[in-house]
Each structure stands twice: as structure tokens, then as C-alpha cells.
Amino acid sequence: MARASTTSDAFNAVAEPRRRDILSFLVAQERPVNDIVASLGLPQPSVSKHLRVLLEVGLVDVRRDGRQMFYRTNANAIRPLHEWTSTFERYWRHQLTRIKERAEANELQS
């Protein structure tokens, strides 16, 4: 077996930086493909391929209007990632507390 497919879930789809850029760009409002091409400065076929991956895992939705395809980020599909990372939140808070305490202890010394 090789690495899991990029279309296997949101975690894999989002590992590619360009796809994260696209998601950020499409979250405020839907946009035709050419807007993405122009704004991110990527070759059009590349954008289409990335959009296909994002579509397959449900990270974007599409709507056709004439010959244009309007894509929009489906923010809901990002929630699982957010929730997974949230389970670690209390631990980095812990770390911060310890770092802070150490810093304060050092200030008392000096």
C-alpha cells in the first residue's frame, strides 16, 4: 500500500498548501474558476484538479451558471479538523502556563 489518497478525507485533501489557499479564497463568497486562477496565479488545469479533489471530499460545493462554474468552500467540512485539533487545546494551554510560570520565576531572580 502507498500513502492514502488525497481524496480519502479532509485531512489528506488539506495537506496540500495550494488547496488550503483555494479554500481560504472561496470561503467568503463563491467564485468562478478563472477568479481563482487570476488571484492565486496558478495554471488553470492545476486549479481544476485541486477543485476536483476538494469537491470529492465535500470541502467545496459547485454551481454552474452558463459556462462558468462557481465554487464555494463548505466550511462545515472543515469542522472535523477543527474538532480534532481542539482535543489538544488544554495541553498547549498547560505548556503555556508552565512557560509563563518559569518566566515569572526568572524575573523574581533577576
Partner DNA sequence: TTGACATATTCCGATATGGGAATATGATTA
Partner DNA sequence: TAATCATATTCCCATATCGGAATATGTCAA
Cβ atoms 10, 54 nearer than 8 A:
no
Which residue lies nearer to DNA by CB, 45 or 82?
A: 45
Asked whether the CA dihedral 61, 17, 93, 104 is positive or negative, the reply is negative
How far CA 85 is from CA of 7, 20, 76, 91, 103, in Å, comes to: 20, 16, 15, 11, 27
Q: Is 61 in the site for a second copy (CB under 8 A)?
A: no
Contact range with a second copy by CB under 8 A, out of 19-27, 37-45, 62-70, 101-109: 19-27
Return residues touching DNA (CB under 7 A): 1-7, 16, 18, 32-34, 37, 43-53, 62, 64, 66-69
* Stretch in the footprint of a second copy (CB under 8 A) among 43-51, 63-71, 85-93, 101-109: 85-93
Question: What span, in angstroms and rounded, lies between the C-alpha atoms of 43 and 22?
Answer: 13
Which cell numbers hold the place of 53? 479533489
Which residues lie near a second copy (CB under 8 A)?
3-4, 6, 11-12, 14-17, 20, 23-24, 27-28, 73, 75-76, 78-79, 81-82, 84-89, 91-92, 94-95
